[in-house]
């Protein structure tokens, strides 16, 4: 078993200390060739400025191997601390909550991936913590067998909290196995029922037959609520609560206004169809439409820098960089990873970054740093079939671009009505900072670049 005791020893006079030193010195014996396990290591910690160590090694029931080493001490009042030690049942290590990011102080233990008695390897995930932004795994510090969990699912934990005890001894499996096999024993056969239970069961069956009072008649005007047994109440996840709080704060803080436009996708789709094979062969990633809109957004932000700014108190902060957030919907909720320095990237760099971030988001391995910051957001609801929407700003940004599904619609081109692949685009912006003129010009720049990608080459 592990020793975890701390007690204080009263002050000792100098003569007593001298006698103790002699007594301990006389108790030393020669080391035996036989292996002796360490039972405890004690450190005498005086309250003064000096400390000395006191080590005691012995085998239980073996007086010949008792060894005591006393280095001496100075001071009077001493405090003794007994450290955890290795016992016959094997060493025990503890899994703790890891550091979860600069802005995250706690999380909720969402689920255990293992059970007590399960064998785990070093760095294998044994539990998951759900934070306001991401899900973090708790890894086993060593290979061994889980003895017990120290917290329960749904508990709030902080970095450094102990979560589980893991035995690294080879004998740990044998200690756990009997408890696992106990439920497998066949249950004893029930004895034949006697006459008395039959009488009781008869009485129980007869009770429902008794007339029950009729429920009060409801007025015709009372609403007929659905029965409670047809409803389910489940707690919100931390991620969902965080998303709900931020979106509501956005509505309460910003003067939200949305402007719309429509984009003819013919030329951008033609460009992708023409070069997609060569693009994939050279860069190892598919050429999508998202990179075209990211490049268009970068160009629009450079033409209208106020859209890339944000209000901070009585000041306006203009950002001289372009970090574009992309909204990614996952099974656990919405996450918004950031493409850093998007203005310095080409089409291939953007596509590779988007694919990497989206993969991490869906796998739940995205980090806090990859979602921090961002000066502008692009949300593509078209992948789910959305025709038109009014996106909500992601604080502390000032605008968000909403993409939608591509639909063939009749358009007038050169005096003739022809079918064209059209997309509605929406820009929601903070009207406290951005005027309608800048918002319309921004969205017009998006439209011009997407409809004629050659503008990016000529910077016009």
Burial (CB count within 10 angstroms: exposed 0-12, middle 13-18, buried 19+), residue 403 = buried
Tokens of 341: 């320095």
- Could you give the CA distance from residue 369 to residue 359 in angstroms, rounded to a whole number? 16
Three-state DSSP at 430 gives strand
Q: Are 348 and 285 in contact (CB under 8 A)?
A: yes
What lies within 8 Å, CB to CB, of 250 at 6+ separation is 256, 392, 393, 394, 395
DSSP assigned state of 208? G
- Could you give the CA distance from residue 12 to residue 336 in angstroms, rounded to a whole number? 64
φ/ψ (deg, to 5) at 250: -65, -45
| CA nearest neighbour of 447 among 417, 420, 419, 426 | 426
Residue ranges in 107-190 assigned as alpha helix (H)? 172-181
Q: What secondary structure does DSSP assign to 393-422, as a single string?
A: --TT-SEEEEE--EEEEEEEETTEEEEEEE
| Element containing residue 81 per DSSP (H, E) | strand 78-82
Which is catalytic among the residues 137, 303, 431, 452? 431
- Could you give the CA distance from residue 214 to residue 217 in angstroms, rounded to a whole number? 8
Q: Are 440 and 404 in contact (CB under 8 A)?
A: no
Q: Is 404 a residue of the active site?
A: no
Burial 46-78 (b: 16+ CB within 10 A, else e): beeeebeebebbbbeeeeebeebebeebebeeb
Which is catalytic among the residues 435, 448, 452, 459? 435
| Element containing residue 225 per DSSP (H, E) | none
φ/ψ (deg, to 5) at 83: -80, 160
Residue ranges in 149-189 assigned as alpha helix (H)? 172-181
Burial (CB count within 10 angstroms: exposed 0-12, middle 13-18, buried 19+), residue 154 = exposed
| CA nearest neighbour of 260 among 113, 32, 139, 422 | 422
Q: Is 303 a residue of the active site?
A: no
Q: What is the set of active-site residues? A: 431, 435
């Amino acid at each position: 078993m592990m020793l975890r005791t701390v007690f204080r020893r009263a002050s000792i006079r100098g003569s007593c200390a001298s006698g103790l030193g002699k007594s301990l010195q006389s108790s030393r014996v020669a080391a035996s060739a036989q292996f002796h396990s360490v039972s405890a290591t004690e450190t005498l910690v005086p309250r003064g400025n000096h400390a000395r160590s006191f080590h005691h090694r012995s085998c239980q029931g073996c007086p010949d191997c008792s060894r005591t080493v006393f280095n001496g001490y100075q001071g009077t009042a001493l405090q003794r601390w007994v450290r955890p030690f290795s016992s016959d049942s094997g060493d025990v290590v503890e899994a703790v909550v890891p550091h979860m990011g600069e802005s995250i102080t706690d999380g909720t233990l969402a689920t255990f991936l293992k059970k007590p008695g399960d064998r785990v390897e070093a760095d294998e995930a044994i539990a998951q913590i759900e934070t306001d932004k991401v899900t973090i795994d708790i890894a086993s510090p060593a290979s061994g067998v889980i003895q017990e969990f120290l917290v329960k699912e749904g508990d709030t934990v902080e970095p450094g909290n102990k979560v589980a005890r893991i035995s690294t001894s080879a004998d740990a499996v044998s200690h756990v196995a009997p408890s696992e096999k106990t439920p497998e024993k066949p249950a004893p056969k029930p004895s034949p029922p006697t006459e008395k239970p039959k009488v009781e069961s008869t009485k129980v069956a007869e009770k429902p037959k008794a007339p029950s009072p009729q429920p009060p008649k409801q007025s015709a005007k009372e609403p007929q609520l659905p029965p409670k047994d047809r409803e389910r109440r489940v707690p919100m996840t931390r991620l969902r609560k965080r998303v709900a709080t931020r979106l509501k704060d956005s509505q309460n803080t910003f003067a939200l206004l949305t402007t719309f436009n429509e984009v003819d996708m013919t030329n951008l789709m033609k460009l992708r169809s023409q070069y997609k094979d060569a693009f994939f062969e050279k860069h190892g990633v598919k050429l999508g439409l998202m990179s075209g809109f990211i490049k268009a957004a970068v160009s629009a932000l450079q033409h209208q820098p106020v859209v890339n700014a944000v209000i901070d108190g009585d000041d306006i902060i203009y950002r001289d960089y372009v970090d574009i957030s992309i909204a990614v919907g996952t099974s656990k909720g919405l996450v918004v990873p950031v493409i850093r320095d998007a203005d310095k990237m080409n089409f291939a760099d953007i596509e590779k970054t988007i694919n990497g971030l989206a993969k991490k988001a869906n796998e739940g391995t995205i980090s806090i740093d990859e979602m921090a910051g961002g000066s502008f957001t692009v949300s593509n609801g078209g992948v789910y079939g959305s025709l038109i929407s009014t996106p909500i700003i992601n604080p502390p940004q000032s605008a968000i671009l909403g993409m939608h599904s591509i639909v063939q619609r009749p358009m007038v081109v050169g005096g003739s009505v022809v079918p064209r692949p059209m997309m509605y685009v929406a820009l929601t912006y903070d009207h406290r900072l951005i005027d309608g003129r800048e918002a319309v010009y921004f969205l017009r720049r998006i439209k011009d670049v997407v409809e004629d990608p050659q503008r990016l080459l000529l910077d016009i």
